[in-house]
A and B are shown apart, each in its own frame.
Chain A
């Protein structure tokens, strides 16, 4: 996996670079999905930071809660009724006390589902080909193209620089290794 990228210190320039790259996709024959942005912090409010899918994780959390509640119900009520034990006239599987356990398992289900959905949505864990640059943690933002077409490299480089990149680098990190070599 090769990557050609520029480093930016200003999110507005990042936006410009992303727009430029997007506009050039058909001409330079690469997929918009090959464009990658990496930053050391979230940048709310910029177009490049939006991916327009916000409501789904909430629904998944509710679903997780429902699964948790259901398993809580099975765990408490059904098991107690399957092995009824003499309780001296006190109720077997009383709703009040079972409700407490069902409640806890509901919340547990929602929490675990949120975690799973985050991992799926953020494509984690991913140990192969982590794209990063030490400069990113010092506040720079990385915009690049993964596996750029050979003939388009110089044009892309120019594009990135024109958008205001402080530095343009190229790395050829083998899968599993961290890309960090500059050119």
Chain B
């Protein structure tokens, strides 16, 4: 059975703790750029937690929204890459072949979600972070675009393991680093082709919505809208 990987973000559950961001950095060998670079918009994040405020002091409401690559089925980033560095994998992921990337940055401009990170310099890790790089993930060099892969290394190793044991993948057998580290279980990862998976169940919720769904990019990340009760509690 072919897989179609998807992620559900429950906005009701997100506390904005940014554990997912840290986990993602650790899992995917994402460098930290330092505050000077971050201040001029060079932050490297495959997932970010957007903070927005509604209302003024003394009664502001804080909203958190984790945004990562939406792994669109009709991805604007893929068509524009002249070298097929951003391409569509058989399992419906937006792949990024680092070695093919020549750094035109067209994909990042075409992405309506601005979720792609560019290596403006060769990445460096402060000691001792340089000793804890994940061996399953390649380290990118200067001039290359990168972005969330849905932890493709975890997907692949789980698939290989299941194939070796001649069985189907079980729901929840593995998950992405962000979903794994989410204390409030706001992030749920799984196979959308499996009708019994938790991610399928949540994605068919009446609260389900897509980020910028009106653009027709067909994202595989689903957001569950905030319930009215939260406003009542906060208000």
Contacts and interface: CB of A to CB of B under 8 A. Distances in A.
Interface of A: 85-90
Contacts of A85: 84, 87
B178 interface: no
B92 interface: yes
Interface in B89-113: 89-90, 92, 94
A88 B73 contact: yes
A87 B84 CA distance: 10
A86 B84 contact: no
B22 interface: no
Contacts of A86: 87-90
A89 B79 CA distance: 12
Interface in B23-71: none
23 contacts: A85-B84, A85-B87, A86-B87, A86-B88, A86-B89, A86-B90, A87-B78, A87-B87, A87-B88, A88-B73, A88-B74, A88-B75, A88-B78, A88-B88, A88-B92, A88-B94, A89-B73, A89-B74, A89-B88, A90-B74, A90-B78, A90-B79, A90-B88
A87 B75 CA distance: 9
Nearest to A97: B79
Interface string B165-197: 000000000000000000000000000000000
A22 B87 CA distance: 72
Main secondary structure of the interface of B (DSSP, over half): loop
Nearest to A89: B73
Q: List the 7 closest A-B pairs by CB distance, nearest first.
A: A88-B88, A86-B88, A87-B88, A86-B90, A88-B73, A86-B89, A89-B73
A90 B72 CA distance: 12
A89 B75 CA distance: 10
B56 to A, nearest CB: 44
Contacts of B94: 88
A41 to B, nearest CB: 47
A104 to B, nearest CB: 15
Contacts of A87: 78, 87-88
A88 B87 CA distance: 8
A87 B92 CA distance: 9
A90 B75 CA distance: 9
Nearest to A88: B88
B84 to A, nearest CB: 6
Nearest to A87: B88
Contacts of A89: 73-74, 88
A89 B92 CA distance: 9
A85 B78 CA distance: 12
B169 to A, nearest CB: 20
A89 B78 CA distance: 12
B72 to A, nearest CB: 8
B126 to A, nearest CB: 38
A87 B88 CA distance: 5
Nearest to B95: A86
A88 B91 CA distance: 9
A48 to B, nearest CB: 54
Nearest to B88: A88
Contacts of B89: 86
A139 to B, nearest CB: 53
A90 B78 CA distance: 10
A72 B54 CA distance: 55
A85 B85 CA distance: 12
A14 B79 CA distance: 64
A179 to B, nearest CB: 54
B192 to A, nearest CB: 14
A108 to B, nearest CB: 19
